[in-house]
Structure 1
Amino acid sequence: MEPISLIIAALGAGAIAAAKDTAGTAVKDAYQGLKALIKKKFEGDVLGQAMVDAKPEEIKKAEGLLKDKLTQAGVDKDEEIIKAAEEVMKKEDPQGFEEGKYNTNVSVQGHVFGVAGTNSGTVNIGSVPKTE
């Protein structure tokens, strides 16, 4: 998953979880942390900050604009924000996270490199030919 897609997914999932009474504190805290980091990037940008606070259905409707604003602000290249987005998804969808659904990939010379980690500290790096 591209970092920008991961970040948008985490914002959407976090917003949905935060709206539910049944959501755990860990998910809500991870989501609030992600939002705070992104809002720092949007300092002085009222629209950008408002988009980060949007309701899930508003995030979905404005996904293209949000993606553009996040990319322009360099959010998709900020390791701290990417890790915070991964943390939201790890808390919200632990099974999907463990299965590698939210791994960020890097494409280099026609290959996609994925990095997957476990709680034991093991890191697996694999390469597969890039498909169009």
Structure 2
Amino acid sequence: MTEVDIVVAALAAGASAGLMETASAAVRDAYDALRVAVRRRLSARGEEVLDAEQVEPAVWEARLREELIASGADRDQELLATAENFRALVRSEGKNQVDARGAKGVQVGDHATQTNTFN
């Protein structure tokens, strides 16, 4: 995955309505920061691709990828760090969230061992 692909994937993930409805404030803030960084990068080109409406996702992503490459986004360390921060928050957001209503012997976490005896 190239640097520009990371930015496009992060924006596509954030554009998902389901993600933003259930996301924490930290994830929403990180997504907003990513959009600001991308808008800053694309502003010199005068492109409005970030806010394109009624466009197929694949078309939007391809056009965004082209504009980011043309703008030199792959060399913008601040933008790349912002995209990575957002992606890391999204990955960690869903980790270890368990709906344990009615469950017995629930264990949450990594690398744990559990033995249950139910009577």
TM-score, normalising length: structure 1: 0.60
Identity, in percent, stands at: 30
* Structure 2: gaps spanning 5 or more residues: 94-119
| Structure-2 separation of matches of 1:82 and 1:17 | 23
Distance in 1 (CA, whole Å) between partners of 2:35 and 2:18 is 12
Alignment of 1:28-47 (within 5 A): 28-47=28-47
Q: 2:69 aligns with which of 65, 71, 86?
A: 71
Q: Which runs of 4+ in 1 moved over 6 A?
A: none
Number of aligned residue pairs: give it.
94
Tell me the distance in 2 between the aligned counterparts of 1:51 and 1:89. Answer: 21
1:80 corresponding residue in structure 2: 78
Q: Which has the higher strand share?
A: 1
The amino acid that maps onto 2:21 is D
**8 Å CA contact retained: 1:59, 1:66:** no
Residue of structure 2 equivalent to 1:15: 15
CA distance in 2, matches of 1:31, 1:53: 14
Conserved 8 A contact 1:37-1:81: yes
Q: Computing the radius of gyration over CA atoms, which structure comes out larger, 1 or 2?
A: 2
Calculate the TM-score normalised by the size of structure 2: 0.65
Higher relative contact order (CA 8 A, sep 6+): 2
